[in-house]
Structure 1
Amino acid sequence: MRPASGHRFRLTAACLLGLALALPAGQSAWADSRPPLPAMGPSLRKTVAFPTAEKIGTIIIRKQEKALYLVTGKGEALRYRISVGRDGFGWTGTVQVGSKTEWPAWRPPKEMRARRPELPEMVPSGPYNPLGARALYLLRDGRDTLYRIHGTNDPSGVGFDGTSGCFRLTNTDVIDLFRRVPVGTKVVVQ
């Protein structure tokens, strides 16, 4: 009798070969033209006790904790581990999600490019883009703050003071948050 793992391998290989043969030459099984999903990173979210007077659906960012909380009600929230602004780049206040983008392109602000002239004017969406798989654009009084809640091309960088004021999550977690949060969501940064 052969081991089950060998049988599973042959079955999986046969399925993949069948899929490849069923597609026209040069066509991918992922023909939706979205970038591949490398560096997704683990999910660092967890349901936690979180008493607050804020409404269900509000995002509360506690920079000292390097945590983003999505209020779910009943004294609970989903907690996501995040990176926050390094020294000199932190900020507080109340903003709202003004728009959301899947696989955003990144255009470093002119102030950032002045500090780091080696940065390109634009990094297209994809696996090398530092905004990762999703971005939530933050507005204050209807104006773009230039700050984002976004994914990353380097999940090992989540959980530190290392951004220029944005809030960075693993791609796995930013995709989850993106699905849960509508445009107009209140974001409280503490």
Structure 2
Amino acid sequence: MPIRRIVLGLILIAPLAACNARGPVNVASDDAAWYTGTMPDKPFDVPLVDKSRLDPKYRRQVVRYTGPEKPGTIVVDIDNRQIALVQEDGSAIQYGVGVGKAGFSWKGEAHIARKGVWPDWSPTTTMVSLNPDLPRTRKGGLDNPLGARALYLYQGNRDTLFRIHGTNEPWSIGEQLSSGCVRMLNEDIVDLYERVPVGTQVLVKRNGKYRV
């Protein structure tokens, strides 16, 4: 499938997501220019983003890490729009993310209770109350707001309803647009998904803290 057809299909469904923006997002007319090709994946290939269009601080990179968190921990920094996966050698793999709008961002300690590949999406009760016209479900695929992968965050046995997931709105990385979930480039969530097992600790910080 030509990349332009993929991109146009993604743009048409952008306003549908519960974990996506609450309402349409204004984007440039050259949306196809965000994409450079695809990465093989199953059952769909992953559209690849032109990294030159991202602020360098939101590109995947290895950085020095001096925080107290143990290796293997995912640290989500809401204020800086970044995720760090802590490594054994004093470094971290850092990714740029998009985060929730003011009043919708969550912080706290959680763990990954399950993982999804091209997951199905459905809105939360809150999202339906805010927008009754939202579809009640959407199968996984290129037109799905959760993108290529999703990591489901739980506290104990309770689903927090917050996810770390892919996005079909790459221009939203570094922005505060979603309804609370943490969104990554599809190629980045695929990378993170492969590195972390179920049970991984996730710390979501705001103002430098993940505890009230």
TM interval, short-chain normalised: 0.7 to 0.9
Q: Name 1:46's counterpart in structure 2.
A: 61
Aligned partners of 2:187 and 2:144: how far apart in 1?
A: 15
Does the CA-based 8 Å contact 2:112-2:151 persist in structure 1?
A: yes
Amino acid across the alignment from 1:78: I
Label 1:146 to 1:42 Cα distance change in 2 as closer, same or farther (>3 A): farther
- 1:31-180 matched pairs, under 5 angstroms: 34-38=43-47, 40-42=48-50, 44-180=59-195
**Range with bigger deviation, 46-55 or 62-71:** 46-55
Q: Name 1:187's counterpart in structure 2.
A: 202
TM-score, scaled relative to structure 1 = 0.79
Amino acid across the alignment from 1:34: P
- The structure with the larger Rg is 1
Does the CA-based 8 Å contact 1:85-1:167 persist in structure 2?
A: yes
Structure 1 unaligned spans of 5+: 1-31
Aligned partners of 2:110 and 2:184: how far apart in 1?
A: 18
User: How much has 1:35 moved relative to structure 2?
Assistant: 2.7
Q: Name 1:16's counterpart in structure 2.
A: none
1:123-151: CA deviation from partner (whole Å, max 9, x where unpaired) = 11111101000000000122111100000
- Number of positions where the alignment pairs a residue of Structure 1 with one of Structure 2: 158
User: How much has 1:52 moved relative to structure 2?
Assistant: 1.9
Question: Tell me, what secondary structure is at the counterpart of 1:169?
Answer: strand
Aligned partners of 1:145 and 1:126: how far apart in 2?
A: 24
Question: Tell me, what secondary structure is at the counterpart of 1:151?
Answer: strand
Structure 2 unaligned spans of 5+: 1-40, 52-58, 206-212
Aligned partners of 1:112 and 1:35: how far apart in 2?
A: 27
Does the CA-based 8 Å contact 1:108-1:119 persist in structure 2?
A: yes
1:17-74: CA deviation from partner (whole Å, max 9, x where unpaired) = xxxxxxxxxxxxxxx9713433x32562110111122111100011110000000122
Aligned partners of 2:91 and 2:65: how far apart in 1?
A: 5
Question: Tell me, what secondary structure is at the counterpart of 1:73?
Answer: coil
